[in-house]
A and B are shown apart, each in its own frame.
Chain A
């Protein structure tokens, strides 16, 4: 007697499972999975476990008080989420930021990009069982956190980029530390390529897995490493330049594969470019003031602005409406993880269960940022 004759063919085959908030492979997030044996039929994301109401809170605080809580959604890349906010408020007020402040903004944003990508690659390593990668990545990103700490003052939340410039100047000993870290990190990235990205075991698990075609990537509104790994050369640092990016020489890495390996490799190539940018910025930075004297409660003229920059995970955008009072009327935050979320149910479909962690984390989805 075969098994098929006992069960009805369609009912009871599909099992609904939660890859829930308490799971080593999920983060602060739940994915509802519908499984047919070892085969994933479809999935649906369930976000909102870290929804803290940042946009509503933004309306109760003035523009300077908004800075600390706005940098917490993507705590790994806290300068990346404050950058478009500062650009938007500066545009509304008509501030012209001193050049030294612009260089410092660029240096901190790029250091945060490296810190964020190291976390991404480290966790991707442990999801495929490569425990060396996570320990190396977590340990090495501490060198960059030390460099950022010398400038910003804290380990991850600096509240550094504010409307009107940056909060404080960079001490002289930070420049030397930065250049030493850049030189050391270049060689370290070669080692990462050897042990992880060119590792045949990782290639087997991630090459051809979770392929996102170019048309789908554009149509679904993805940004950042996900978009550049699918063959679209779109980077806001080049296409809509802000701060002093036009004066710095760097490339935008683009890969054609669209699979999980390409998304991870693009992150590594971006880190190389970030090191180049930091080195140039540290050498070219001019002396001068770093902050406009705006006072603790600046009055922003009425207006509406939509500003966006390239944070570590992708395009970060703010829609700020001001009505002339010290508090924003509407503060809408558009985070890259939320924009990339639509690609998750599209990719987590018709794959085996063992491919789920690789596809999920290769999208570089940070749930705290998507929930705000």
Chain B
């Protein structure tokens, strides 16, 4: 039996069965898991700076991001999977931002909203401002603007949803 396992034909057979399982069971499962994730994003309730006003407007009744499935979570931050960094991150907030990001459950995504979160923006020469948050946490979508219009934030969420739809692994990492 051990010699049969080492033969090339058996390996090819195992490979083909693996491929069939992948197409028949793995891909649809992954599609289903990603579909569930992208239509139920839970943002962390962390307000960083002035862009939070436009997020408030985006959550309001005119622009309503709840119809995209993004619902503000009032529970613990450990059950959230989306971190929208709304604006400038100062040096005082940066360690707290990392702490919050580390506590979120995998898979998690980050939207950098506003010019200040992307490169430091208008406050590039301030002594207390981080020039872009991608030095501290990894970012998935950058939404430019100062502040970005609420429609621009909605476009950013839709882009993130497209990214999640195409994730290659089941764990979403």
Contacts and interface: CB of A to CB of B under 8 A. Distances in A.
Given A51-B92, A53-B123, A69-B122, A28 B52 contact: yes
B127 interface: yes
B96 A21 contact: yes
A49 B44 contact: no
Interface stretch (B16-24, B31-39, B55-63, B132-140): B55-63
Contacts of A28: 47-49, 52
B29 interface: no
A145 B149 CA distance: 12
B96 to A, nearest CB: 6
A134 interface: yes
Given A52-B90, A75-B147, A138 B61 contact: yes
B123 A134 contact: no
A272 to B, nearest CB: 22
Contacts of B96: 20-22, 49
Interface in A130-151: 134-139, 141-142, 145
Contacts of B3: none
B100 interface: yes
Contacts of A285: none
B126 to A, nearest CB: 4
B37 to A, nearest CB: 22
Which of A27, A72, A119, A137 is most buried by chain B, counting CB atoms within 10 A of its CB?
A72
A13 B82 CA distance: 37
Given A28-B49, A48-B92, A53 B59 contact: no
Interface in A104-155: 119, 122-123, 134-139, 141-142, 145, 155
A138 B123 contact: no
Nearest to A26: B47
A171 interface: no
A123 B53 CA distance: 11
Contacts of B100: 22
A50 B60 contact: no
A134 B60 contact: yes
Nearest to B124: A57
Contact of A156 (B46, B53, B88, B93): B53
A72 B74 CA distance: 27
Contacts of A48: 90, 92
Contact of A368 (B45, B49, B127): B49
Given A28-B48, A28-B49, A48-B92, A57 B60 contact: no
Interface string A62-95: 0000001100110110000000000000000000
Contact of B127 (A50, A53, A73, A75): A53
A295 interface: no
Categorize the interface residue count of chain B. Answer: 35 or more
> From DSSP, what is the main secondary structure of chain B's interface residues?
loop
A50 B49 contact: yes
Which of A20, A24, A119, A157 is most buried by chain B, counting CB atoms within 10 A of its CB?
A24
Contact of B45 (A23, A49, A53, A145): A23
Given A23-B45, A56-B126, A136-B61, A119 B53 contact: yes
B81 interface: no
A97 B57 CA distance: 34
Interface in A7-47: 20-24, 27-28
B93 A21 contact: yes
Nearest to B63: A142
Contact of A142 (B46, B60, B126): B60
Interface in A197-236: none
A68 B90 contact: no
B56 A138 contact: yes
B147 A22 contact: no
Contacts of A68: 122
Given A28-B47, A28-B48, A139-B60, A51 B53 contact: no
Which of A23, A28, A119 is most buried by chain B, counting CB atoms within 10 A of its CB?
A28
Given A57-B126, A157-B146, A49 B57 contact: no
Nearest to B57: A138
Contacts of B57: 138, 141-142, 145, 155
A24 B50 contact: no
Given A21-B46, A72-B50, A119-B53, A51 B128 contact: yes
Interface string A343-372: 000000000000000000000000010000
Given A138-B62, A155-B149, A156-B53, 10 more contacts: A48-B90, A51-B90, A52-B90, A57-B125, A119-B56, A122-B56, A122-B60, A155-B54, A156-B54, A156-B147
17 contacts: A21-B47, A21-B93, A24-B72, A28-B52, A48-B90, A49-B92, A49-B93, A53-B126, A56-B126, A75-B50, A119-B56, A134-B60, A136-B61, A155-B57, A155-B149, A157-B146, A157-B147
Interface of A: 20-24, 27-28, 48-53, 56-57, 60, 68-69, 72-73, 75-76, 119, 122-123, 134-139, 141-142, 145, 155-157, 368
